[in-house]
Chain A
Amino acid sequence: MRVTHHPILGEQSPARTVEITVDGRKVTAREGETIAAALLAAGIRVNRITRKQGTPRGLFCAIGQCTDCVMVVNGVPNVRTCVTPVADGMTVETQKGGGPAPLKSGGSR
């Protein structure tokens, strides 16, 4: 749910929207917001599934420190979705364990 009205912050200003694909589902996001915010706004709370016990994890620190919210973004695993902004056409997948092996190119994460 988005906070469109706010007593201090005022009305939320209009923003350009971008479309991202989350586990195959199209999600509309506001340009400039983080992936985690876009997902929460769309009601998606699970970002990854742990490697050993297979339990869900979601947003925890929201400032890029804890890495609980990491997902596979454009094929790259371990992307901290709470600090990474959305981009049009981005693909986001629930990360299972360590995610796919890093790609040879763009595998800098």
Chain B
Amino acid sequence: MPAGAGVATSGYPSLDEVRGSPGYPSRERMAKGAVAVIECVQEIPCNPCEAACPRGAVKVGQPITNLPALDGEKCIGCGLCLARCPGLAIFLLDMTYSDTEAALSFPHEYLPLPEPGATVTAVDRAGQPVCRAKVLKVANPARNDRTPVITIAIPKEFAESVRGIARKSGGGDVGR
């Protein structure tokens, strides 16, 4: 399936789809620092993201099938919405992490979890390897309700393509 075919045919949203959705922050907002990136492009009945935001930066409203809209001015990049989205469709992007790197946070509900400082393979929306990434943080506080959130550093040029890290085959979590 060609990249960019769209979520309904390829299974993952194209860059055009996510950029065209109201939950995707503008380039200008991204340049200012950490911001939520909501990749929710279908009208499904769901709104926990709205309640998750302490600043009122995410709006679904009525009807509940509205696409979540991000107010980039209100979003402070706290990342509280990441683990609250049942679709695991929210990311946190910080283009100001360093001169050359962006920091990307995403939910990762697989074992084993990487260690902070480890070098891992960053993958795109299709699960294809994009680049190496350094694990900055692995957070799984109680409020995440068992949804770990990983933060990695990646070259800025890949900030809009990388959306996770390679899942280890077999996970290493299968015992006898």
**Is there any pair of Cβ atoms, one from A and one from B, under 8 angstroms apart in the complex?**
yes
**Residue contact A8 to B109, C-beta cutoff 8 Å:** yes
> In the complex, A99→B104 CA distance in Å?
59
Cβ-defined contact, A2 with B175, below 8 A: yes
A101 at interface (Cβ–Cβ under 8 A)?
Answer: no
> For chain B residues 77-111, which have a beta carbon within 8 Å of chain A?
109-111
Q: A1-B176, A2-B176, A7-B148 are in contact. List 17 more A-B contacts (CB 8 A).
A: A1-B174, A2-B174, A2-B175, A3-B175, A4-B175, A4-B176, A5-B111, A5-B173, A5-B175, A6-B111, A6-B173, A7-B109, A7-B111, A7-B113, A7-B146, A7-B173, A8-B109
Contacts of A10 in B (CB 8 A): 146
Q: Which residues of B contact A5 (CB under 8 A)?
A: 111, 173, 175
Smallest CB-CB separation from B148: which chain A residue?
A: A7
Residue of A nearest to B175 (CB): A4
Report the bound CA distance from A6 to B109 in whole Å.
9
Q: How many residues of A contact B (CB 8 A)?
A: 9
Residues facing A in B162-176 (CB within 8 A) are: 173-176
Contacts of B111 in A (CB 8 A): 5-7
Distance from B138 Cβ to chain A, minimum over Cβ atoms (Å): 12
Q: How far is the CB of B10 from chain A (nearest CB, A)?
A: 26
A76 to B110, CA, bound (A): 42
A6: B residues at CB distance < 8 A: 111, 173
A29–B23 CA distance with the chains assembled, in angstroms: 49
A3 near B173 with CB under 8 A, answer yes
Q: Which residue of B lies closest to A5 (CB)?
A: B173
Q: Which of B113, B146, B174 contacts A8 (CB 8 A)?
A: B146
Encoded as 1 (CB less than 8 Å from any B CB) or 0, chain A from 2 to 32 comes to: 1111111010000000000000000000000
B residues in contact with A8, CB < 8 Å: 109, 146
Q: How far apart are the CA atoms of A5 and B176 in the complex, in Å?
A: 11
A sample of 24 inter-chain contacts (CB < 8 A) reads A1-B174, A1-B175, A1-B176, A2-B174, A2-B175, A2-B176, A3-B173, A3-B174, A3-B175, A4-B173, A4-B174, A4-B175, A4-B176, A5-B111, A5-B175, A6-B111, A7-B109, A7-B110, A7-B111, A7-B146, A7-B148, A7-B173, A8-B146, A10-B146
Say how far B137's CB is from chain A's closest CB, in angstroms. 17
